[in-house]
Chains A and B, each alone.
Chain A
Amino acid sequence: MNLSPEPTPEHLQFAIEAAELGTWDLNPFTNSFTCNALVKEWFGLPADTTFVPLSAAVERIAPGDQPRIEKAIAAAMEPDSDGRYDVTYAVTSAITGKTRVLRAKGKTLRNEKGELIRFNGILQDITAETEWREQEQKLLTLIENSVDLMSVLDMNGINSYINPAGKNLLGIPPEADITTIPIKEFHTPEQLFFVETEIIPAVMTKKRWSGQFAIKNGESGEIIPLYNNCHRIDDPRTGEPIGIGAVMRDLRPELAIRNELEKNVQERTKELQEAYDALEKRNKELASFAYVSSHDLQEPLRKIQTFVSRLQETEAAQLSDKARDYFERIRRSANRMQTLINDLLSYAREDSAETVLRPADLNQLIAGISSQLQEELQRNNATLTVTDLPVVQGIPFQLQQLFINLFSNALKFARPDVRPEIKISATVVAGSGATHTLPAKEHYYHHIRVEDNGIGFRPEYAERIFEVFQRLHPKTSYEGSGIGLAICRKIMEKHKGAIYAEGQPDQGAVFHIYIPV
């Protein structure tokens, strides 16, 4: 082993190979060069050639780089230049087709007359480094242009990087050297305490921390709410933590939108509540108007009835036939008016009635009604057929009213020569699957059919019969005020259910009742 302190050419050759460097040596007189095996491999030159024409090398250089390289070579060889040569270019091997990025460095050598005698130097493969730098450039472009604050806090407690958005949020001038600013400048004492006692320990032990956070803008003093997402950055070699990377999003726009939305919702809610209150007040007024007016109308009417009946009973002998007839007509009209007022009164009463739902066994309810109507059923020679009915959630006395109205209608509108038959049956249907429109598609309903074999009605009247005071027949043919079905509908509305009618002239009517299960 040669232990001479001066490196021998062999030593240098060994070092060059170990460093994976290419070497080249251009003869300016022949414009050809010699080079080591690595250069030949990179350019794809035949391994056995000793003197390579410069043009053979230049043509392997990427066309875009060629003019620049030629110029740089020429410039280095200019008599009045410093002779230095330092360029980077891409070269594609003529044999393997592989492209590399190379960095060439060289220097010219002149004799004492100033004549160029040699031009040599080295080549370094920087492909990997270039690619990495490109990658880094892409990421850096993202980071530098991000609207979120991005920063790296080193283990010494100093920020080594803050992106422009971050500087803007923190109120730091773009050109400021952030490494000289201690992080306490960015926080209130409470926040700093939180960073030191919560965030940093969490990141160190669990590798990350995220949550709502705030910073202080150094310029304006504004406290800015942020969503902070921190990660521990580890040394890829040792695995030891080397810093904390933070990405923080300014929450002000989001909070502003949220506040705006909340304000809107509150305003809308208030408007709705006001509209609802007004409507409820109006409804109450209407209900009490209907109630008071019909109640007060009863008084004078009752007196007309009483005095007429008094006359008819006690003074009949003194009256002419004509007068007796007139009194009878007065009595009938007054009776009819009383029916109207009573019905109107009960219609108005449905509004103010309480709406507490209780279980109601429809079998029992119908049995009760049929015994109540027994006399009427017998008089009309009617039959009532009931199949098994459900227990529903309802207001029993209202449901009773509903069925009484429907049965009375069936008896009232019987065909003259046909024995009235009323049939009641029940099934359960889905709100979305019923033939009728129901209040809630997602609910299930008891569907109760009340079917009769009476005079029916024309299908186009199926809706109108539920309106107040709507009658399909002259009042001389059928008694009633035309309010019974309106009450039925109101009752079903109170039950959040529905009622529909279906009919054909002389083919009976079917009433469909839907009560939520």
Chain B
Amino acid sequence: MTKAIHSILLADDDEDDRLIFLEALQDVAGGLQLTTVSGGEQLMELLQQEPPFRPDLLFLDLNMPCKNGYECLQEIKNSDDLKKIPVIIFSTSLQPKSIEHVYQHGAALYIVKPVSFSDLRHMLEKVLAMDWQQMSEQLPLDQFIIKN
């Protein structure tokens, strides 16, 4: 099931969240390559370097200093090179306006950061089980948000 996904990129300024994410991902799919960046600027730098780095999935936090998640999403989806990367919004809050905004800008999924560790693992399993190669089109809005 996880064959299609080899590498995951996580952009999150919160060190604790990066650690928990890493631990949960190791529990769920130990063999996956996880790259983490601590901000929007680092993310865009990484994506634009040579040779090009193209993760199979990007987990993007919204609330980051300097370049935030909204800006990154917009830049990625406006770039012909990058727009094919599925972007999963990974945020603490569940704000109707921001959901609408990122949906319109082509995010693939909106995930509310789970509170319990087991929920996080469960969520990652769910996401990795999705057929990302086949998912060329965005999910309908009612399936767009994953809450735990």
Q: Do A and B bind each other?
A: yes
Query: 11 A–B contact pairs at CB < 8 A?
Result: A302-B92, A302-B115, A303-B16, A303-B17, A303-B20, A306-B116, A306-B117, A307-B20, A313-B117, A313-B118, A338-B115
Give the residues from 306 to 360 in chain A that come closer than 8 angstroms, CB to CB, to chain B. Answer: 306-307, 309-310, 313-314, 338, 345, 349
Q: Which residues of chain B from 5 to 43 have a CB within 8 Å of any chain A CB?
A: 14, 16-17, 20, 23
Pair A295/B115 contact, Cβ less than 8 Å: no
The complex places the Cα of A349 from the Cα of B97 at a distance, in Å, of 11
> B92-133 vs A: 1/0 string, CB under 8 Å?
110110000000000000000111111010000000000000
Q: For A314, list chain B residues within 8 Å (CB).
A: 117
* In contact, A306 and B20 (Cβ under 8 angstroms): yes
B69 to chain A, nearest CB (A): 14
* A310→B93 contact, CB < 8 A: no
Name the CB-closest residue of B to A301.
B115
**Contact A306-B115, Cβ < 8 Å, known A295-B93, A298-B92:** yes
B17 / chain A contacts, CB cutoff of 8 Å: 303
- Pairwise interchain contact A309-B115, C-beta atoms closer than 8 A: yes
Minimum CB distance partner of B119 in chain A: A309
- Which residue of B is nearest A300, CB measured? B16
Q: What residues of chain A lie closer than 8 Å to B114, measured between beta carbons?
A: 306
- Choose one: A305, A313, A345, A349; the contact of B115 (CB below 8 Å): A305
| Chain A residues, Cβ within 8 Å of B96 | 349
How long is the Cα–Cα vector from A313 to B115 in the complex, in angstroms? 13
Cβ A310 vs Cβ B117 within 8 A: yes
* Closest chain B residue to A353, Cβ basis: B96
Nearest CB in chain A: distance from B105 CB, A: 21
Residues of B within 8 A of A307 (CB): 16, 20, 117
Which residues on B are within 8 Å of A, measured CB to CB?
14, 16-17, 20, 23, 92-93, 95-96, 113-118, 120
Neighbour of B118 across the interface among A298, A302, A309, CB < 8 A: A309
Residues on B with C-beta less than 8 A from A338 are 115
| Given A303-B16, A306-B20, CB of A295 within 8 Å of CB of B92 | yes
Mark each residue of chain A from 261 to 300: 1 if its CB lies under 8 Å from any CB of chain B, else 0.
Answer: 0000000000000000000000000000000000100110
A334 to chain B, nearest CB (A): 8
- Closest Cβ neighbor of B23 among chain A residues: A310
Known pairs A299-B14, A310-B20; A305 contacts B116 (CB<8 A) = yes
Give complex CA distance A306, B21 in Å.
11
| Inter-subunit contact A309/B92 (CB<8 Å) | no
- Interfacial chain A residues near B117, Cβ < 8 Å: 306-307, 309-310, 313-314
Residues in chain A near residue B113, CB distance under 8 A: 302
Which label, helix, strand, loop or mixed, suits the secondary structure of the A interface? Answer: helix
Contact-residue size bin, chain A (C-beta under 8 Å from the other chain): 10 to 19
Determine the distance from Cα of A349 to Cα of B94 in the docked complex, in whole angstroms: 11
Q: How far is the CA of A248 from the CA of B76 in the complex (A)?
A: 79
Residue from A303, A305, A345 whose CB has the most chain B CB atoms within 10 Å: A303
Interchain nearest-CB distance for B59 vs A (Å): 16
CB A312 to nearest CB in B, in angstroms, measures: 9
Cα of A299 to Cα of B96 in the assembled complex, Å: 18
**B141 CB, min distance to chain A CBs, angstroms:** 14
Docked complex Cα distance between A436 and B45 (Å): 63
Q: How far is the CA of A303 from the CA of B17 in the complex (A)?
A: 8
| 6 additional contacts (CB under 8 A) given A295-B93, A299-B92, A309-B116 | A298-B92, A299-B14, A303-B20, A306-B117, A306-B120, A345-B93
Assembled-state Cα–Cα distance A307/B95 (Å): 25
Q: Which residues of A contact B92 (CB under 8 A)?
A: 295, 298-299, 302
For A302, A314, A338, the residue with the greatest tally of chain B CB atoms inside 10 Å of its CB is A302
Q: Which of A143-200 contact B (CB under 8 A)?
A: none
Which single residue of chain A is at the shortest CB-CB distance from B120? Answer: A306
| Closest 4 A/B residue pairs (Cβ) | A309-B116, A310-B117, A305-B115, A309-B117
| Residues of chain B contacted by A303 (CB below 8 angstroms) | 16-17, 20
Chain A residues within an 8 Å CB radius of B120: 306
State the Cβ distance, B115 to closest chain A Cβ, in Å.
4
Q: Which residues from B are CB-within-8-Å of A306?
A: 20, 114-117, 120
User: In the complex, A313 Cα to B118 Cα: how many Å?
Assistant: 8
User: Are B116 and A298 in contact, with the CB atoms below 8 A?
Assistant: no
For A302, the chain B residues whose CB sits under 8 A away are 92, 113, 115
Q: How far is the CA of A338 from the CA of B92 in the complex (A)?
A: 12
How far does the Cβ of A80 sit from chain B's closest Cβ, in whole Å? 118
- In angstroms, how far is the closest chain A Cβ from the Cβ of B91? 10
A310 to B23, CA, bound (A): 10
By a CB distance below 8 angstroms, the chain B residues around A313 are 117-118
- In the complex formed, the residue of B with least CB distance to A345 is B93
Measured in the bound complex, the distance between the Cα atoms of B98 and A349 in whole Å is: 13
CB of A96 to closest CB in B, whole Å: 103
When chains A and B are docked, how far (Å) is the Cα of A208 from the Cα of B114?
Answer: 87
In the assembly, what is the distance between CA of A306 and CA of B120, in Å?
9
Q: How far is the CA of A345 from the CA of B98 in the complex (A)?
A: 15
What CA separation (Å) do A473 and B117 show in the bound complex? 32
Measured in the bound complex, the distance between the Cα atoms of B96 and A31 in whole Å is: 123
Measured CB to CB, the closest approach of chain A to B148, in angstroms, equals 11
Using Cβ atoms and an 8 Å threshold, which residues of chain A touch B116? 305-306, 309
Q: Which residues of B contact A345 (CB under 8 A)?
A: 93
> Taking the nearest CB of chain B, how far is it from the CB of A401, in angstroms?
12
